[in-house]
Amino acid sequence: MAKIRVGIIFGGKSSEHRVSLQSAQNIIDAIDQQKFDISLIGIDQDGGWRILDTTHYLENGNDPKLISLAPRENSDQQHTSQSQIFEIENAQGLPKIDVVFPIIHGTLGEDGALQGMLKMLDLPFVGSDVLSSAVCMDKDVTKRLLQGSGIAVAPFLTVHSYNPYEISFQEVQNALGLPVFVKPANQGSSVGVSKVENEQEYLKALDYAFEYDNKVLIEKFIKGREIECGVLGNYYPKASVCGEVVVKSSFYSYEAKYIDNQSSEVVIPALISEEESKKLRDISIKAFKVLGCLGLARVDFFLTEKGEILLNEVNTLPGFTNNSMYPKLWENTGISYSELITQLLELALERHEHSTRNSKLI
């Protein structure tokens, strides 16, 4: 039986470029080479797309701070500008790709942009479709949809770059109390996030968050445990065991997630009751369906001392780094890293076949 060729797209222009490289490296190492052949497509931080050699595609692969795409063979090599349309009829192409694993975190990777391009190319791909990717990337929209379906979220306010100071610090304090978190609406991995306890910090946090997005969320601080659950599947999704992130700093920062292993600890399974575990898993599946997710998602919660469950975030392309929760959750549920990759690729092919079959009925 012929192997399935997988195109792995990674890197990208977002602030999570290095996280993507780490994720791709782990997926490449774990993929079942008896079933799959791979083609590597790397995107530079300046937006250039490159076909990479599987024997040398990264520099400093063991250092999260310095990891980078392998340099171009010719440092003067030109690549197409972002706004240029060009003819590729006579160019050497990749072998035919059967399915794509896009593992670009953040902007232009998990916000529906890349998914839309892959749909136009009629290529099956791992993860959620255009709409659900865009919805889950935007924390403001996500929260409003979840609230409408009866799923509790942390109280929040939203401000926009065209009027960044429309909500005063006093209004924030009156509505949400202190401290609060200020974060870009369309970023992940805690990029651009600040914990705020006074007016000076608030104004500084707004400026910082607006460096990454045109819309910013101000969220009430929730004192509670950080519990995460993985969801896997298309139309009949299942939930993993729950895991807990024990943060030893003020909040779960980018450094804590991907660089400094000492500032946080992952406990799987989470030390919670069976009843709490079932509720969290049930809400994870409900949120997955409400938001139209497909393939995979990691659902993050706060669990308060009073037993209140608040959904914090739904991540449609969670990390696959050495520290990442999603693959660890499934390993503890009984699905190995390699088998998880296989199932995700099979789900992508299944969904594409289902979509193609339905489109022929119209």
**10 within some domain:** yes
CATH number at residue 167: 3.30.1490.20
pLDDT tens per residue, range 311-349:
999 999 999 998 899 999 999 999 999 999 999 999 999
Q: Which amino acid is at 147?
A: Q
Assess whether 140 and 281 both reside in one domain: yes
Assess whether 247 and 146 both reside in one domain: yes
pTM: 0.90
Provide the phi-psi class of 299: left if phi over 0, else alpha when psi is between -120 and 50, else beta. beta
Q: Give the residue among 182, 180, 179, 202 at the shortest CA–CA distance from 190.
A: 182
CATH number at residue 303: 3.30.470.20
Average pLDDT for residues 41-60, to the nearest whole number?
93
pLDDT at 342: 98
181: phi then psi, degrees, rounded to nearest 5 = -105, 135
Last residue of a domain, one of 180, 198, 220: 220
Q: At what angle do helices 337-359 and 17-30 cross, to 10 degrees?
A: 100
With a cut of 50, say whether residue 76 has pLDDT above it: no
**248 within some domain:** yes
Assess whether 47 and 177 both reside in one domain: no
With a cut of 60, say whether residue 78 has pLDDT above it: no
Assess whether 199 and 308 both reside in one domain: no
Assess whether 145 and 261 both reside in one domain: yes
Assess whether 322 and 229 both reside in one domain: yes
Residue 274 exposure: Cα atoms within 13 Å on the Cβ side: 0
Average pLDDT for residues 37-66, to the nearest whole number?
93
Average pLDDT, the chain: 91
pLDDT tens per residue, range 228-253:
999 999 999 999 999 999 987 665 45
**85 within some domain:** yes
**53 within some domain:** yes
pLDDT tens per residue, range 208-231:
999 999 999 999 999 999 999 999
**357 within some domain:** no
Assess whether 333 and 199 both reside in one domain: no
Average pLDDT for residues 51-55, to the nearest whole number?
92
Parent domain of 311: 136-151+223-351
Assess whether 70 and 190 both reside in one domain: no
Which residues, including other chains, have CB under 8 Å from residue 54's CB and lie 6 or more apart? 28, 38, 40
**H helices then E strands: how many in the chain?**
10, 15
Which residues, including other chains, have CB under 8 Å from residue 317's CB and lie 6 or more apart? 102, 103, 104, 105, 109, 110, 127, 133, 296
Average pLDDT for residues 260-270, to the nearest whole number?
82
**361 within some domain:** no
Tally of domains within the chain: 3
**214 within some domain:** yes
Confidence of residue 356 (pLDDT cuts 50, 70, 90): confident
Assess whether 344 and 255 both reside in one domain: yes
**27 within some domain:** yes
